[in-house]
Structure 1
Amino acid sequence: MNVRFAGFVTALVAAAALGVAYFAQYGLHLVPCALCLWERWPYRIVVLLGVLALLFGGRAGRVFIGLAGLAMLGDVIVAGLHVGVEFGWWKSPLPECNGILTPGAALPMTPSVPCDRPVHLIAGFPMSMAQMDFCGTAMFTLLLFFMAARRPDRRF
């Protein structure tokens, strides 16, 4: 696979995922929780890494694609944490998700949207946005590692 094309695909997929999140927030008026906002950061990083892979190509491009895979692996962890919070397996480590008393604050912070309340993008579809992000990110991460490890002279 051409490394520059892989960089283009990487940036495009990450930008599309961010586009869905922003559409849900601004178009559908679904308010994101604090963990949802954390889940967006790896995508922003991956857009940049994909563009760098597109610009540089070659060995450097493969390194950028591999780094994008590591960034998305971080999102798999954050999305998995969020899914666990939604299922009630554990509490969120973010104080803004729990209404925990913050040192120096007079009252506990109350989240605008609790992190343990699943937000469903598609009515009637049993997966929350965090669950969809976890599944999609896991597949995207595997694809990125595959593209980074692939020798340039081989075809799909």
Structure 2
Amino acid sequence: MAIRGDNHGRPEADKSGPAKCRRKFLRLFRKGFHDDKYVDWERGSGRRRFENWVETVAALPRRQTRVLTWPLVTVFGFIGAPAEHFFLKPMVTRAAAREYGYDFRYKSKPSWEVYENLLEFAGTVSRDLRDLKPRDMIDIQSFLWVQGSDEYEE
């Protein structure tokens, strides 16, 4: 890729492209991805996205059944981005958390607080299983399914 120059012979990389984008980001977040302001912003962004999704699901038409459920709220993120999202099946996950000794603060109405606690639980399990090399939340969900489901005896 050729670097074009401006009218003074200086590379345009200083005015646009990756260098400009980097400067803009670092003006906002001086310590880069480890800047406390960035971390707070990113966490807030996840919360906003989740809460917007819950509102969208809650607004769906329903006939004779509840639509705003944990499985429906969490399945699409889990399928689309399994490295970052967890599929919550309440009965099995609650049983698995008890078995694991984790304080899973579950409530039946989907909320960011419960989902964030679930992601913390999944992160704890992932770190504890690092020797088994879990690839994503699918592996963590499978591990917890074995712990919490009646399908698997001790």
Both proteins in one fold, TM over 0.5 = no
Higher Cα Rg: structure 1 or 2? 2
Indicate the TM-score class for this superposition, using the shorter chain for normalisation.
under 0.3
Structure with the larger RCO, 1 or 2 (CA within 8 Å, 6+ apart):
1
